[in-house]
Structure 1
Amino acid sequence: MNITGKTRITGLFGYPVEHTLSPAMHNAAFEHLGLDYCYLPFLVHPNSLGKAVDSIRALSMAGVNVTVPHKEAVISFLNDVNEEACFIGAVNTVVNREGRLTGYNTDGRGFMRSLEENGIPVAGNKVLVVGAGGASRAVGYYISEKAASLAIHDIDRNKLHKLVSDLSNIRKNVMALTQIDDPAGFDIIINATPLGLKKGDPSPVDISALSPTQTVCDLIYKRTSLLDLAAQKGCRTMDGLGMLLWQGVLAFELWTSVSPPVDIMRTALFKAMR
């Protein structure tokens, strides 16, 4: 990569960021297209988030991705937030247009593109999402638009009922589950919790109740024990790598107004995971 006096900077604000695969994905796309951009990870402590956002303007950066734990907190430092991100209450992409910062959320659309790419239909199906955090909000916003029904479960009852209440203002097919009595009653099950990141984490659903007619998705982009065990039961499975890819594709387009080479980005992700 050739850094010049005209190079536009993009990057990732998070805490931590050491694990990120995004620089490999975006820089491979910039290089392939010959765009004078680069993507860098920035370790931003929560206490420094406001200063970090100010630096986007001060350094004339093209924009950034935003990850844990800043997706909600960043909103108060932006000039504008688009309708989708405003409803979700979280931003994962910031675009700098002549010093005016606008927040977007590409996570939900990225997940839907991943489902589509894998030939997993949502329309007419019963869907269960486990977790009521920011990822669940982003996914639920789009899933509820197409699914026959969307059930959401979380052990945090306040978060659960707040999310279901918010979605119910725009959809009529969303319900809260305080416990999952019958996971076999859903066509698609989506894990939107961190369970599975660490070895020994409990399963978010009762694997023994699953059947080969079901699809199990995990928003975690590495292969988790949930997916391995679901596959052993004959279920169709999908990890979160496709969501990571497609949310990145959409962010790339927002920064550059150019369609990126998806296959190049996908290959870079696979290489970075080795």
Structure 2
Amino acid sequence: MKQIYGVIGDPISHSMSPDMHNDAFTDQELEAYYNAFHVRPDHLEDAVKGMKAIGVKGFNITVPHKTAIIPFLDQVDELAAAIGAVNTVKYENGQFIGYNTDGLGFVAGLKEELHESLIEKRTLIIGAGGAARGIYYSLVSEGIREIDIANRTVSRAQQIIIENPYEAKSNSLTIQAAAERLNEYDLIINTTSIGMKPNVDEMPISLQHLRNDAFVSDIIYNPLETKFLSEAKKKGASIQNGLPMFIHQGALAFRIWTGVEPNIERMKAIVLKKLGG
């Protein structure tokens, strides 16, 4: 009998995770199947209990359940607890254990592209939601010490900084203030949904003061090149979309569940095909 894995969210029909993980199970010759489960917020606790009852071996969590699921888990690892969000759950010794691979997936994708130390990179994160928190804590845990956060509501950015359990030198800024100081940053990361389909003409921040030697990253991967990235490229900056983050967070989850390293390039090809790219 195949082991059951999956992803829960609301909505969930758009998820590309089943395509990516089922191909990885086949490629690694594992008797397992990954399914998308539509779970509404008012059914979350019952869904978690049901998944444990039927022996689900692991699952991912997407919007809007990443924080809400924590009280229904038996354990949460240190990084996920610090972030305050879980995107991966593993069944082990009768318990559901929560992890967060989003930020670590972003860092893995970034390292793959940069091929150099991140520690000296002065960094700006745009946005202060769950993705920003995960990326901020993961970057700080990797040794980056100068990371600022810009957000429309500055207090939300400040809260992430205050609650950070690691050593870092950070400032919270308005979007306008960050735009005026953009030439100070080596690495600029958009963690908001601004520029995602169908609002493809929107940008999270002005790039007027962007340096041509900066590296600009956007966690959006649909479209594969947002206006934010397109404009950064025109100014000479190096760019990266959200596809590496999505693939690497999935690969990390796969490893947590199975102890097996999946084929990253194969996972990338599956997602690109699904996107029509």
Say yes or no: TM over 0.5: yes
In 2, the alpha carbon distance for the partners of 1:50 and 1:129 equals 33
Counterpart for residue 163 of structure 1: 160
In 2, the alpha carbon distance for the partners of 1:40 and 1:202 equals 33
CA deviations 1:93-151 (Å, max 9, x no partner) are 01112431000001111111101111254220110000111111111012224224100
Counterpart for residue 84 of structure 2: 89
Deviation of residue 158 (structure 1)? 3.1
Unaligned 5+ runs, structure 1: 1-5
Deviation of residue 200 (structure 1)? 4.7
Counterpart for residue 135 of structure 1: 131
What is the SS of the residue equivalent to 2:69?
A: helix
CA deviations 1:235-263 (Å, max 9, x no partner) are 10001100100110110011112111222
Q: Show the 5 A alignment for 1:129-208.
A: 129-145=125-141, 146-167=143-164, 169-178=165-174, 179-180=177-178, 181-197=180-196, 198-200=198-200, 202-208=202-208
Out of 233, 239, 243, the residue aligned to residue 231 of structure 1 is 233
Q: Show the 5 A alignment for 1:98-137.
A: 98-119=93-114, 121=116, 122-137=118-133
Unaligned 5+ runs, structure 2: none
Out of 26, 30, 49, the residue aligned to residue 25 of structure 2 is 30
Give the RMSD, CA atoms, in angstroms: 1.4
CA deviations 1:197-224 (Å, max 9, x no partner) are 1325531111222231111100112321
Distance 1:148 1:86, change over 3 A: closer
> 31-40 or 152-161, which moves further after superposition?
152-161
Aligned residues: 268
In 2, the alpha carbon distance for the partners of 1:217 and 1:194 equals 13
Preserved CA contact (<8 Å) 1:63 1:94: yes
Q: 2:42 matched to 1:73?
A: no
Deviation of residue 192 (structure 1)? 0.6
Preserved CA contact (<8 Å) 1:144 1:173: no
Amino acid at match of 1:57: K
Counterpart for residue 259 of structure 1: 261
- TM-score, normalised to structure 1's length? 0.94
In 2, the alpha carbon distance for the partners of 1:127 and 1:140 equals 10
Preserved CA contact (<8 Å) 1:60 1:99: no
Preserved CA contact (<8 Å) 1:154 1:177: yes
Amino acid at match of 1:65: N
In 1, the alpha carbon distance for the partners of 2:119 and 2:157 equals 23
In 2, the alpha carbon distance for the partners of 1:75 and 1:148 equals 28
CA deviations 1:36-83 (Å, max 9, x no partner) are 111111111111111111122111011110011100000010000000
In 2, the alpha carbon distance for the partners of 1:216 and 1:187 equals 8
Preserved CA contact (<8 Å) 1:144 1:174: no
In 2, the alpha carbon distance for the partners of 1:132 and 1:248 equals 22
Q: Show the 5 A alignment for 1:235-246.
A: 235-246=237-248
> 132-141 or 220-229, which moves further after superposition?
220-229
In 2, the alpha carbon distance for the partners of 1:10 and 1:240 equals 24
Amino acid at match of 2:104: R
Distance 1:92 1:202, change over 3 A: same
CA deviations 1:153-211 (Å, max 9, x no partner) are 111233212101012x4223122113323112111100011111132553111122223
Counterpart for residue 216 of structure 1: 216
What is the SS of the residue equivalent to 2:97?
A: strand
In 1, the alpha carbon distance for the partners of 2:173 and 2:119 equals 21
In 1, the alpha carbon distance for the partners of 2:97 and 2:140 equals 25
Distance 1:270 1:24, change over 3 A: same
